[in-house]
Chains A and B, each alone.
Chain A
Amino acid sequence: MKTYKYNATQKLFRRAAKVIPCGIYGHYSPAPLVPATDYPFFTSKAKGSRIWDIDGNEFIDYMCAYGPMVTGYGNPKVDAAAQKQAKLANCVTGVPPVMVELAEYMTDLIPSADWVFFAKNGGDVTNYAVMIARAATERKKVIMVSGGYHGVSPWMQGEGHHGVMDDDKKNVLAVKWNDIPGFEKAVSDNRGEIACFISSPYHHPTFADNEFPAEGYWQKIEEICRREGILIITDDIRAGFRLHMGGSSEYFGYKSDLTCFCKAMANGYPISALTGTESLKSAASKVFYTGSYWFSAVPMAAALTNLREMKKINAPKIMLNTGKKLLDGMVKIASSYGYDLKVSGASSMPYLRITNDPSLMLHQEWCGECTKRGAYFTSHHNWFISTAHNEKDIKRTWDIVDDAFKAIKKKYGDEY
């Protein structure tokens, strides 16, 4: 199978590096793509489940823009709604009526939502949720899960990271995922001081197997939090609407006080949302929080159409089933070459790892080989499935997976 070259990518990257910090920064940085030279960095066009880089290489995209693409690049229904709204108004003086319509739709869609607040990015609403929790409880401390990711505000980042001061983290306590005794201890050691517990609905760190909640985990967390007056913030930025249209707390059977949505809301149009219960509406209204583009109408119109479409077709079920079929086939192919391809997390956003080499180097090489053949796989982060991924994509991906395993088997023989 032919493998791709990235001459134009490297050329443009060198231009980028002269005028942009890191060349490409943040989660789009090529640094965690191992080896970076196996990957495209710049996408010139996209359609459905596919992207094309500036070298003209075509990829089945299993990162979906790290989550925002959910119903296919260039989805005609979503794009039409956005374009219709763009002709009327986008970022203008005065609030667009579609904002109310979207809020009404989301409060109907999401059982735990009595109100909705819109922003742009996931970190906007995780930060706002914590501010509301602090305002409502008049407490300062936050519990989070070690390895959890809630954005890039200083309190969310790791100690020792550049620009993060010791004081930024002093009110953030970390507990292990699925560790009820550890959670109980953190609560009892800080009784009356903890405002909230912020967590993704299941644990999806980078560079590590993803973990679902143990039987009864969320229910026990809920019991402790209710007893202690601690609010539950669900960071559903990544998993939201890829497990359940009512939010992932519905999937796992617990009640979230505040829930953060973003990625799958509008199929790539920039919008995020915080939903909350009636009892927190007053606190939310007292916390001043806003942004220049948070009232833009186009993403709201896109979100309304996208969510309606996802609800209509039961998008989470489609993505979970597509993912399962894809992954089952891949695991079988891996096994035929003597490799154990471990899948963890939800099949609509799986994390994969070849267990034969605990250093991940073999897995990284295999992901690079797949990407060079046209299936864009990252080795450090969970992937994303969309409703646009179809049978043809799955079959093509299996062919690529097979050829990539063949290549690494040829290189390493029975070393692993």
Chain B
Amino acid sequence: MNYNLVKAGLNLHAILKNLEDIAEFDSEMKELTSSWNISIKFIVKGGPSATVRFSGGRCTVEPGIEGKASIILWFLSPAHLNRMFDGAANPIPLKGFTKLGFLSKEFPKLTDRLSFYLKPDDKLMTDKNYLEMNTRLTLNTAAFAVPEIIKGDPVGKKISSKIPDGTVAMRILPSFHSVNITFSSGSAVAHKGDTDKPSAVMEMKNVSLANSFLNGRTDAFTAIASGDVSIKGIIPMLDNMSLLLDRINHYIS
């Protein structure tokens, strides 16, 4: 197992993906990024790649390095990328030297906000807006981590081989946020938003319960039995997906 490779995939495709929602739902960050027209490629030698784009007041984070970019950040290895996410290393800029000011001053405001939302404490969680954002980002991270765990984690691969083809919808009620994950022949693709014909559904009653559930503060079986979380459809898909989600903690906390 290549620990750093899996962790790099999670950092780049599951954690960094949350910049999209921060730029959309955090009013301060929305204002900050509204005028940005810039793209940044993250390229990891022997590892994953992703492109972060800001355009028209919208942020997108997608796998791959298709198209032109204003800035290219190079990492010598997956471990190098992971060290950057831990705040212990810097990337190597390959392109965009005229935009180093953006990289050193503006962009960190957004990434610092990402860290802020993903590192809650008891006091922060009493704030409704913080709770909502943390919950939203946690659900996104879970969904987009699943394909990475399947790709790189040996146990995850074995688990995924038992998941029937189809789409799992995870919803936070009432109409707060949804993600869906489509499984096909042992691989998976995650999307934000709902889906029309899911094979299995997990619905969390409200934001607060969803937060407790997604962060492991509520036992899943208890939540389901009490109706705080409801499940339906091809339950083995949810059972196995739950095992995949439990693998995330082997790499990131």
Contacts and interface: CB of A to CB of B under 8 A. Distances in A.
Interface string A16-49: 0100011111000111101111000100000000
Given A31-B231, A359-B200, A364-B232, A158 B162 contact: yes
A22 B198 contact: no
B252 interface: no
B158 interface: yes
B219 interface: yes
Interface stretch (A125-133, A159-167, A221-229): A159-167
Interface stretch (B21-29, B82-90, B94-102, B221-229): B221-229
Contacts of B234: 207, 359-360
A161 B219 contact: no
A17 B219 contact: yes
A159 B157 CA distance: 10
Interface residues of B, number: 31
Interface residues of A, number: 33
A10 B222 CA distance: 11
Nearest to B166: A359
Residue among A17, A25, A162 with the highest chain B CB neighbour number at 10 A? A17
Given A35-B227, A37-B227, A160-B243, A23 B235 contact: no
B155 A160 contact: yes
Nearest to B236: A207
A185 interface: no
Interface in A148-172: 158-162, 166
Given A160-B155, A160-B158, A14 B226 contact: yes
Contacts of A380: 235
Given A17-B222, A23-B222, A159-B159, A32 B235 contact: yes
A390 B198 CA distance: 40
B193 interface: no
Interface in B234-253: 234-236, 240, 243-244, 246-247
B219 A22 contact: yes
Nearest to A162: B246
B70 interface: no
A13 B246 contact: no
A29 B221 contact: yes
B232 A35 contact: yes
B230 interface: yes
A359 B167 CA distance: 10
Contact of B231 (A34, A162, A206, A207): A34
A17 B218 CA distance: 10
Interface in A335-364: 358-361, 364
- Residue picked from B155, B200, B201, B232, most chain A C-beta under 10 Å: B232
A13 B200 contact: no
Contacts of B236: 206-207
Contacts of B156: 160
Contacts of B227: 10, 35-37
Contacts of B199: 358-359
Given A159-B155, A159-B159, A160-B158, A359 B222 contact: no
A365 B226 CA distance: 17
B222 A22 contact: yes
Name the residue in A25, A364, A365 with the highest tally of chain B Cβ atoms < 10 Å from its Cβ: A364
Contacts of A30: 221, 224-225
Contacts of B155: 159-160, 166
A158 B234 CA distance: 17
B64 interface: no
A206 B198 CA distance: 20
A206 B197 CA distance: 22
Contacts of B235: 32, 34, 207, 360, 380
Interface string A239-282: 00000000000000000000000000000000000000000000
A36 B233 contact: no
A159 B225 contact: no
Contacts of B232: 34-35, 360-361, 364-365
Given A34-B235, A359-B198, A380-B235, A161 B225 contact: no
Nearest to A33: B225
B225 A31 contact: yes
B198 A29 contact: no
Given A35-B227, A359-B199, A364-B232, A161 B222 contact: no
Given A34-B231, A160-B243, A360-B234, A23 B158 contact: no
30 contacts: A10-B227, A13-B222, A17-B222, A21-B219, A22-B219, A22-B222, A23-B221, A29-B221, A29-B225, A31-B220, A31-B221, A31-B231, A34-B232, A34-B235, A36-B225, A36-B227, A37-B226, A158-B162, A159-B158, A160-B156, A160-B158, A160-B159, A206-B236, A207-B235, A359-B166, A359-B198, A359-B199, A360-B232, A364-B233, A380-B235
Interface of A: 10, 13-14, 17, 21-25, 29-32, 34-37, 41, 158-162, 166, 206-207, 358-361, 364-365, 380
Given A17-B222, A36-B224, 9 more contacts: A10-B227, A24-B221, A24-B225, A31-B225, A35-B230, A160-B155, A160-B243, A359-B234, A360-B234
